[in-house]
Every structure is written in structure tokens, then in C-alpha cells.
Structure 1
Amino acid sequence: MGKSVDELMQYLGDMGIEVSTIRHAAVFTVAEAQNLRGQLSGAHTKNLFLKDKKDNYFLVTVDEDAEVDLKTIHSKIGAASRVSFGKSEKLLEYLGLTPGAVSVFGLINDTQHQVSVVLDEKLMQHDIINAHPLTNEATTSIRREDLLTFLKMTGHEPLILKIDVATPN
């Protein structure tokens, strides 16, 4: 069983990371989240839990408006083959998350480092990044530098790459 929202908040607090969290009705898509969030500043994320044929897993986090080419992303992220979406059982096992609640905060549960994390460079241009805090019934705002600190403290060194194919070179 993965950590709870309260345990995540305690972990962040213990690291001196300040976040703000708003509660809302459960959302399962970017469109639903856009309708609910009001005027939260900063970037809002879209998260892809992917795997290659050798069972290497990746969490790719991009801006909600990003376009991701699943046919070519494998060559960017170092996958052994083309990728597909990881099964919900592995999502729960590795990140302690269910579909709809996928976010970088799930990496707190990946203590065996089974998942590589990839952040889109366009997303990382924002000072504030918003993501689900282990539940799709809330959104947490975190500073970019604090997100990187969180990832490193969980043992995940993120790759920051150009993933959004809609962004010109």
C-alpha cells in the first residue's frame, strides 16, 4: 500500500518544502481538471505511465497542453523499444496510484526505483507546477526547484527533455 496524502504532506514538510493544496471533486481527465481548478497559477500536468518491451517503466510528465508522440518518444527517453501504457496493476505496485491520480508525487512510493522520471523542458520553465498529491480529489502546487528536490530525495534523478512535439525546436 502506498503512502497517504497526509504522509506525503508530512514528508514534504519534513524536507522544508512548502506546498498549497486545494481539494475538489475527483477528476480523471485534463478537461475535467480544467473545469474545476479555477484560477490556480502555474503549469498543470499531464502524466503518462509508460513501459517498454523489457519492462522498463517511465513516468513522463508534461504540460497539460503538450502533444506527445508515443511512436517516437522511446528514442528520447532511452527506452529499449517503442512504449505502451503501463498496466494499472504496475501503476499501483510501483507508484501506489490508480488511473486518474498519476503524478510525480507517486514517486515517493517507488522505493525500489523501478520507474524512471522524465520531465518536459517546457513544463520546467514554469515557477509553479500543479499535480495530484496521490489522489485525483486534490491539486498541489509546488515550486519547480522544490519539485526537483523532492524527486532527488526519493532517489529519482529526472531527465529533463523536449517531449512536447507541438513546441518548435
Structure 2
Amino acid sequence: MKHALYAFLDQHALTYQRFEHPPVYTCEEARQLCPDMPGAETKNLFLCDGKGMRHLLVAVPAEATVDLKALSQELDVKGLRFASPERLHRYLGLEPGSVTLLAVLNDRAGAVDVVVDASLWQADAILCHPLVNTETLAVPRAELMRFLELTGHPPRVIPVPQRAA
């Protein structure tokens, strides 16, 4: 699966820096095991509506705590909730712990909408797993935008509502 991603990136001459590391499952583990990578750390949430009809991949800064109720209202999606591991596998071909914006490559049906927090989108580069949690790519924002457009997933960039700490 990751080989198809690298082939796509190379085919479209998309640039990135690649870093190998031990498996990471949380933002905290990534911070401890993979310090000093050049780019914004992210938290990626795979969500669906209450009926399981709409699916969203939401990227926010790693330290963010998303207010799902407020985000549901902002996006006009009723009952926004975390999607199951089965849905994650069905729609993005991933296992929990490796959710990434780059997974939309696997959504050939265009069933997943991409939402990116406006503050995250200000970064020069964004850190993304290449469909596995043992590597990270630092992808320049312009290259990530091109990737998302090429895969048919132009992002909706909004200030994603956060819960107070």
C-alpha cells in the first residue's frame, strides 16, 4: 500500500522529506520517538455522521482537542462521531494509529471529505504518515494541496472548533 503512495508521489513529482522511526500510535509517542522533524505535527481524526453516510478526515494541530459537537454544527453534519476501525479500513485502507491525510489516495470513490484546521494550514510543511506508522513524511503545504487536489479531495480549510483545556 505504501509503495503505491510513493509511486503516486513520484509520478506527480511531489516533493517530501522521509523519516523512518519506531511505530508510533499517538501524538505523544511521536513527539518522544521522532523529535525535530521539520513540519507541523498533526492529529488526524476519521469521523462519520450519526447514520454512517458521510465520512470526514479532519486534520488539526497535534495539541488540539476537537469539539465534535461544535464541528458537527459548523459542517452541518448531524451526530458527528469517531468512525469504527472497520470503517477506517473500508474507506481509507488503514489501521488505527496510522491515520493520515495521505490516505485519501485509497478513497477512489470520493466518499471521504477532507477538513483541515486553518492554523495547521499556515505551516510551511505538514507531517504525514505514508499509510504506515513507522515512517513520517514532511510535505510542503503547496505539495500537500496538489496531492489532495490530484486525488479528488480538495480540503475545506476552516478554524476547527476546539474544547477549552
The two structures have a TM-score, normalised by structure 2, of 0.94
Moved over 6 A (4+): none
Tell me what 1:135 maps to. Answer: 132
**1:32 & 1:54 partners in 2: Cα distance?**
33
Deviations 1:15-61 (A, max 9, x none): 11111111111111110000011211220110011011232110000
Residue in structure 1 matching 2:104, options 103, 107, 116:
107
Tell me what 1:50 maps to. Answer: 47
Aligned residues: 163
Residue in structure 2 matching 1:147, options 144, 147, 160:
144
Q: 1:82 Cα shift?
A: 2.2
Counterparts of residues 1-169 of structure 1 (less than 5 Å): 4-55=1-52, 56-79=54-77, 81-165=78-162
Report SS of the residue matched to 2:68.
coil
**1:53 & 1:73 partners in 2: Cα distance?**
13
Query: Which amino acid in 2 is paired with 1:21?
Result: R
Asked if the contact 1:120/1:163 (under 8 Å) is kept, the reply is yes
Point out where structure 1 has 5 or more consecutive residues left out of the alignment: none
**1:44 & 1:133 partners in 2: Cα distance?**
14
- CA RMSD in angstroms comes to 1.4
Point out where structure 2 has 5 or more consecutive residues left out of the alignment: none
Identity, % of aligned positions = 36
Asked if the contact 1:72/1:82 (under 8 Å) is kept, the reply is no
Q: 1:76 Cα shift?
A: 1.7
**2:31 & 2:81 partners in 1: Cα distance?**
26
Report SS of the residue matched to 1:111.
coil
C-alpha change, 1:166 and 1:126, in structure 2 (3 Å) is: farther
Q: 1:7 Cα shift?
A: 1.5
